Structure 1
């Protein structure tokens, strides 16, 4: 591992994070990367259909944000949702079966890649259109406050994390929801995964104010920019935002600067981005940076990290076997989940 290429990560104090927690972050990111790589293989073998948008390169954002949340908190995603669901705890086999369109999938095979959902894990779903999930996340944050203030719920305030891309920050729903969240001091964290490209449009060419986090200022909301390739930095700023939300101090906008290593979707030949730009970001691979941090600081050994990688590969392989052996939805059940029983 080249120490001159893989930049050092944010150094956290022992009372901020334990070695065990760091290894959990590492395994979560490795799971996300391996899962997506296998999705690419299965897609090109004709096991998945439709559009499939992979998350490679952005793992530090999903892991850093979601692992700062509690099990009871909510996550709302985008069409690039597989890894968000994995980080929230949705089992790999349930997601893979959904991608295969099987009855055992977390959306019963009816949603596919862009509509992963799990009520059990408070994962509010992926959404095919940009900004579509932000109002859903806002509603989850509102009900959390309503339960506390009106229904006198004794549990701690549940926080919602809403993920979306840089292209969404030019959408009207983004601004409307920021305004409403501040007005009602909702416990929500707006997470902009700025991967520099909105499909084929470079971010700096599509907005008059490229620094998205500064847009929070207009609403009186804290806006934070963070290195989205540094999982420790992402986790730290998210924990601060979560604490603010639980204390009733309202929302936070986090802009995570990151990069997708693959094209917009698996149908995208990815010819618009310059090779030099890709190489510059790939040299900051968040997984390799964390692995380097772990070994350099004697948190664990390279052989132990290899064991984690083997465990993850086995879990992903088991997910494939589960999906392949699962039954197809029955034609007679075509309308089964359109309405609540």
Structure 2
């Protein structure tokens, strides 16, 4: 887990050391996940998930991005334990209504449909956490992205981490060092961070998350204006500076928004990343290594696909021993079993 920035303020060494130690202690005792975990208990699992995801993406390609985002937001809070799927109850405050997730996360109905099918075939066998992890992989494949094997055997948590959402998940206006620290705290490297950010090649962002980015002359962190004034005008029409239209959305990859490819990185090279947190990967003065990775993935789609696959497996393996020991297999992904 090395951060090879050429420019390192003295305090950054200490930050990296602390987060490295924290990550090791968090994940060292995690239970092993296996590829054949449900081979005997639910052999139809992968086929059911694939068919339901095919229907969802065929009806609306954007559903691929919604499921991928759900998986990301799940794994960064308490590990990949389906805590993000829990609804609020009298005794539990879920993560869905945390400010960073509210109006941002969708696609819960897709997971519900998959779970209902599996409960018919394999009742109380497959965890919601595993369903979401497989669905995210299939979502990427269905819009042209790479395949990767998904280790299985996760449990569903009985708790949620409302307060951890704002602490753990990168925000649209975060600076590069903040983003790096949030990834390191999950045991993910800088390379993982840049590769996983490529998921935005199929995502959309709400106006409220990029209004500050397009205010004024839309000057990137590097001090360079975007090459396309047409693009800037379009964004301003979607997201007026005077306010209003907070929920209006724009594609983060305006070139091929419904295809999983490497054009997201080309956009960053132009200084036209929709979110400040994305543009920071290329334009931040402390992002010498991240800039090189952006350039690499913009030039080599195979390298991007390969690293994205590896990083998705690594992120999907973020679990914690407490959930494995005290967790459960929910019958309904929205509620803890009674």
TM-score (norm 2): 0.33
- Kindly indicate which of the two structures has a greater share of residues assigned to strand: 1
TM-score (norm 1): 0.33
- Kindly indicate which of the two structures has a greater share of residues assigned to helix: 2
